[in-house]
Structure 1
């Protein structure tokens, strides 16, 4: 059963077409990197897929009631703003809200999910700190942990590695890859093509005009011609003993 199905999805905002005729499905066990240049519509696609903005076409998630949708897909937006000075532990626990009834206290499984997410994102030392006092990178990790605690079949994250140091970038991508290996799926927008190539099982490439250019394995999607036409770069792409390695080299236009 598909965790997300988009059929001819389109978005027009303020009289301008942002996305046009996007069709794709995400199945269990996939780690999908959503890539494209600035302004290609990556954030818009995910928000439309979740029903957060109006769209044409169909999304399997958009029409769901909010609570039902929150049990199917966890969402981490690009914005890192945290409004209330709750502890990091409490912030992560908020990921369990879709699973709790009105006035219901956290059950042992909710506490266990919160603890697992805190451990996964290396937040043990920060659990009692006010979330409003975190650095940008720390806040990103806490918000990823909140999404992980939600324990949904699908996790959608908009530039989750932005602002993280290299070690936490790698560990975050490994966490997403681990979820996919366990049968869940992740849809993650990324600008770092090196991380995308190394960790994602599949890439979805959007053009500057908001059209789907390619969808498949990283080596199939990031051809020299597409790198030139879509990104305006050349790159070295090798697969060795340490796995696939991708390094942008120069601007081509």
Structure 2
């Protein structure tokens, strides 16, 4: 069952085309990295796929009513804000809202506990979320999205601001989520993390999808130079694909 289907999706903002003709499918079991330089349209693509922006073309998610969409996909935007001084556990529990009637069920509690464990927050569950560091707050918001327990997770720059250990741990968690039969679409600027942890990369540039496939087929010297304007080292290893930027092209 396809979890995200886009057909000829195009977005124009303030009379400027952001991207056009994006067609892709995301299937269960995939951890897909959405990559590209600043301004390539990664955030816009995710928001349009969710029906949050005017667009041309089709997105299977945009056609759903709000309740069905909230049960089909969890969305973690790049902008992070925790407005109320609630506990970490209470905030993560908000992820269960699309599934709840009134009282929390055993399944709700299990999903919240699992999300807290995944994001290394179990010992912080009773702390006030607004009093945490920026990186800790980011992990709480990721946990809230994970607690939603949807077939598809869309996360926009979720590891930005996390320390290296929690960046790796978060990407491993996303991989675990994908292997459980769900799917994750995550936008990333760190191409090293994308290369090592994602099963598939979608490269945006020049207003279109430049490449779509396994990391080794997308992060080639030619495409990296064309889209990012850099040279880089890229190789497959026993631990996954390794990518390291080297120099900016003149």
TM range (shorter): over 0.9
Residue segments in structure 1 that go unaligned for 5+ positions in a row: none
Alignment of 1:115 with 2:113, yes or no, is yes
Alpha-carbon distance in structure 1 between the residues aligned to 2:209 and 2:239: 30
The alpha carbon displacement at 1:9 in A equals 0.4
- Post-superposition CA distance 1:126-160 (Å, at most 9, x none): 21121111211111100110011000000000001
Tell me the secondary structure at the aligned position of residue 96 of structure 1.
Answer: helix
Tell me the secondary structure at the aligned position of residue 83 of structure 1.
Answer: coil
Partner residue of 2:126? 128
Partner residue of 1:249? 246
Tell me the secondary structure at the aligned position of residue 17 of structure 2.
Answer: strand
Partner residue of 2:43? 43
Where does 1:123-162 land on structure 2 (aligned, <5 Å)?
123-162=121-160
Partner residue of 1:197? 195
Partner residue of 1:77? 77
Alpha-carbon distance in structure 1 between the residues aligned to 2:129 and 2:53: 28
Partner residue of 2:182? 184
Tell me the secondary structure at the aligned position of residue 18 of structure 2.
Answer: strand
The alpha carbon displacement at 1:245 in A equals 1.4
- Which of residues 189, 214, 217 is equivalent to 2:214? 217
Please tell me whether the aligned partners of residues 197 and 240 of structure 2 are also in contact (alpha carbons under 8 angstroms). Answer: no
The alpha carbon displacement at 1:120 in A equals 0.5
Alpha-carbon distance in structure 2 between the residues aligned to 1:246 and 1:236: 6
The alpha carbon displacement at 1:177 in A equals 0.5
Q: TM-score, normalised by structure 2?
A: 0.98
The alpha carbon displacement at 1:241 in A equals 3.1
Alpha-carbon distance in structure 1 between the residues aligned to 2:100 and 2:55: 30
Following superposition, which runs of at least 4 residues in structure 1 exceed 3 angstroms of deviation? none
The alpha carbon displacement at 1:96 in A equals 0.2
Partner residue of 1:239? 236
Equivalent pairs, count:
250
Please tell me whether the aligned partners of residues 30 and 186 of structure 1 are also in contact (alpha carbons under 8 angstroms). Answer: yes
Tell me the secondary structure at the aligned position of residue 52 of structure 1.
Answer: coil
Residue segments in structure 2 that go unaligned for 5+ positions in a row: none
